[in-house]
Amino acid sequence: MMADREDVLNDFTVEEEMSPAILKAYLQRFPEFTQDLLALFNELSISDLASAEASLPLETKAVSTEALRVQHVRQSLFGTGVREFARDLGLPRAFFTGLNAEVIHIASMPTSLLKALANRLGVHMQDVISGMQQGDGHAVAMKSDVKPGAVPQIDFQDYVDLAGLSEEEQRVLQSLLADDGSD
C-alpha cells in the first residue's frame, strides 16, 4: 500500500531528533517523497542551526580558522546560506541537505564535486569533507559505532537518482562534476 505523503511528513516532523540518520531512514523507506523530505529536513535544520548559533557562547565563536572554514561550509550547504548558495549554483536547495556523511557514503562522492564546492566556497576540499561529516556539530569519531539496524549510507549516484533533479539541474551538476577547479 502506498504511504500517505501527509502522514509520512507529519511523522518525520515529530521525530525525536532531527538528524541526518533519521532523514536517511525516511529517504530509504519512502523514496517517492525524497524531495518533500529533503525540503522539510532543510527547513527544520535551518531553524535548528539558527537557534543553536544564537545560543553559542562568545568564546566558542573565536575558534580556529579551520573550524571557521568548516562552519562556513556547513552554513552554505546546510545552514542559513544554502538558499543563496543553491541559487548561485543552480541546484535545488534540498539537494545539499542530503550531501551529508550520514546520508551519503562520502567515499562515493566524486572528488571533482568536492573540489568544485570547495572552490565555490573558497575553502579547502578537506573543509568540505569535514563540513559534511560533522553531523550535529560533534567531532567525528573514527571508531565504528554502527548501531544494530543502522541504515547504510546511500551511494552518491543513487542519491542523485533519488533527488529528482530537472534536466537543467542535472546539467548543472554534470558541469560541477567536470569542474576540476582550474578557472
Q: Residues 69-103: pLDDT tens digits?
A: 888 888 888 888 888 899 999 998 888 888 888 88
Quote the Cα angle for 168-170-171, to 5°.
65
Q: Which of 118, 122, 43 is nearest to 78 (CA)?
A: 43
Domain count, the chain: 1
Task: Give the cell for residue 110.
Answer: 566524486
144 in any annotated domain: no
The least confident of 16-25, 63-72, 146-155, 160-169 is 146-155
Residue numbers of the domain that contains 33: 5-138+154-178
Q: Residues 6-60: pLDDT tens digits?
A: 899 888 888 877 778 888 889 889 988 888 888 888 777 766 666 666 665 555 5
DSSP secondary structure of 99-121? -STTTB-GGGS-HHHHHHHHHHH
145 in any annotated domain: no
Q: What's residue 166's pLDDT?
A: 92
